[in-house]
Structure 1
Amino acid sequence: MLKTIQLTDAETSKLHEDYLHLHQSPELSMQEHNTAAFIEASLSEIGIEHFRCGSTGVVATLRNGEGPVVAFRADSDGLPIQEATNVDYASTARGTLADGTDVPVMHGCGHDTHVASALAAARILVRNTDAWHGTVIFIFQPGEETSAGAAAMVADGLWDKVPHPQVVLGQHVFPFASGNICVTPESAMAMADSLEVTLYGKQAHGSQPQDSIDPIVLGANIITRLQTITSRELSPLDSAVVTCGSFHAGLKENIIPDTAVFTLNIRTLTESVRAQVLSAVSRIINAEAAASNAPEPRITELYTFPRLFNDPQHTEALVSVFGEEFGAENIRLVPPAMGSEDFGALGDAINVPSVFWMFGGASPEDPAPAVNHSPFFLPEYRGALNTGVRAAVAGMLHYLGR
């Protein structure tokens, strides 16, 4: 097994510099204009051909003679969170949501480590062309947090512009100790469906409920009954989550309103369970409305995340690779996560296998590191980046090494 080629001191310094810049300069999903320009400038400095794809995505093609083709994805967007880490390089950036709301922005999910690690991996490969052969497609993807980025890149002709890879690789930082890798064979992360439901009623004075059709009572009944999908309609061996994340109705305590709006987030691991749950959600919403003598509700899809399926054979091979790189005791096979990722859409678009893994970003001395999407989320970047770069290069060299 070919061990990871190590970063030079100058490359390590540049890696840390890249990370600190990216951490201080996050941008919201599909608004990563400055981030894309930074990636392009870095690729030009490294000497790798590249092009824009999917608006704020960047694709780089690194060729080194005949041989296998491997794609490696790093996502680049930040989140609307006020960073509360109090480090001297904390983000003070702000952005504007689609509805015009001004919000703070931070890299609350570690995508800054992903981009910095991928750029460092590219530097290693360019400096050591005698150790590998073939082609690497680096995919710097925008909009992962909204599930818009992978789809945008595919729709913009990503796979018409680069050679098709034999495998698509990707990774994500997580708050466990650096130097560790977690992998899930087969269904690795959940599909997600987010819905907005508008209920229609009949407005009346709060003292005259007999003249109303109360959308708040209707909504309460719907939300309560939706929880019976997972407890009474699915097999206990099937995994699903149905969450109501918001409910808005009315303006005053003595007025029964004419509408109510709530949002749902649904997580499933298989297409069959997804279809069953979505069908049950629609059935319950419409049946409860009919039971309340209310007009038919409106159900609007906000966004959807695809499956993330790790090819079993490729996953098994990479588990062995990571075991040799980091030590077998630092590699864990873990159950599926109910969080979601749009990474799987890249390989699925051309029917190519994928493998996605988690790498540790926390200090081994930290007993309770903050979780992703927390305002306190902060990888110990030296250890996190070292792990991310080594995992990325080891994964690619498994296919490309001489």
Structure 2
Amino acid sequence: MSLTASPAPAPRISYGAVLGSPYVARLLSGSLTGRLPNGMAPVAILLLATASGSSIAFGGLLSALYGLSSALSQPVKGRLMDRHGQSAVHLPAALLNSALLVALPLSGPYGGPGLATAIVVVGLTTPPLEAGLRALWPSVLPDPRLRHAALALDPGAQGLLYIVGPLLSAALASAYNPAVALAVTAALGLAGTAAVALAPPARRWRPEPFVGQDAAPARQLATPAVLLLFVSLTGIGFAIGAMNVWSISMAEHHHQDMLSGIIPAAFSTGAFLGGLIYGSRTWTGTTTRRLIIATAAFLAGWLPILALPAPYAATAAVTVPGAFLTIVVACAYVTTDAFTPAGRTSEAYAWLILAIGAGQSAGTALAGRLAEQPLAGAALPAAGAAFALTVLLAARRRLGPTGHMQSGRHRRPLRGRHKMPFSGRNTPTFQPF
């Protein structure tokens, strides 16, 4: 009989352990609060435009411009963070963004539509909190299992922003006026961003310098593997954007205005619950395999709506693709990290956010043109998901371990350096979850 003791099983991951780790609760809650304008501002801008006598179409244009400009500016702000640190980017961006949001109501009486359009470019100054938070996790949570849970918890909780944000904006505009909604939006964004930017991990954070052959060329960020991953994510964003318009079409068809908010809320709730389940377990297999399986499940989840179900059935159906969305996004971040040169992680994460945002804009635009055709509108989310899966299947060799080795990107610990929990630097080795 062997006397060798078998290793004790690793303790089960708990969100209490994640949130109880130093600074995690502050960073997560601050980031979510700071990102509330993403859900509040578009609604407040639309309500402001209509209250000022402009058409819904013009208000929608301003809201779309805010979201699009915010997404397009993400890579620039990500690169600035990689060069100058997070606090140096977050705080000035939050101050300018909040000031412009508060000033937006003045554009009506004093500048007309032209100035209103210019001020909505406030989206360009949106603090890059999402990319920044992903870059902070390795230094805040050195344990890869806890980091895995945090990476799943954040995208799931982010879905709640698009439930709480629009409802809060609408309530404030109804009880007071849209200017108050914009002022509260600005205050929440500034307070949340300050909570993150002034936290010690954010103030100390600097990208991990790389020693080796990957240090020089700036264009190495755009490897074939990363480009294919981002192209696939445009399909994920396309599905989300098309779903938002399809929910409005459902509301109009069934004469139930609340469906336009209930269906996206059900989708976001599924994302939150899916993130909780995924992050609480340790999964076997490669990240690439999980990414492809989750994308296939995301696609399968959209197929029931092709039958044009009744409102309650449609609401229940969208929770399924929502549940797998969080897994897709979490695996995409891990894969991006594996192929990104050290010192450029924030910029890479920002490009990922832009890819999803660009796809979402395209899905919204095309779904709007097909809104009068119920079956075509219901098919668009599945079409976006199918595109994402097709690209991932074509890229699976590049995204797998072999492709990682061929890309020449490895984060190696520098000789003589000991990794400290709050050294302010990214973890120099990639840990697949």
Structure with max Cα Rg: 1
TM-score with structure 1 length normalisation?
Answer: 0.24
Q: Kindly indicate which of the two structures has a greater share of residues assigned to helix.
A: 2
TM-score with structure 2 length normalisation?
Answer: 0.23
Q: Kindly indicate which of the two structures has a greater share of residues assigned to strand.
A: 1
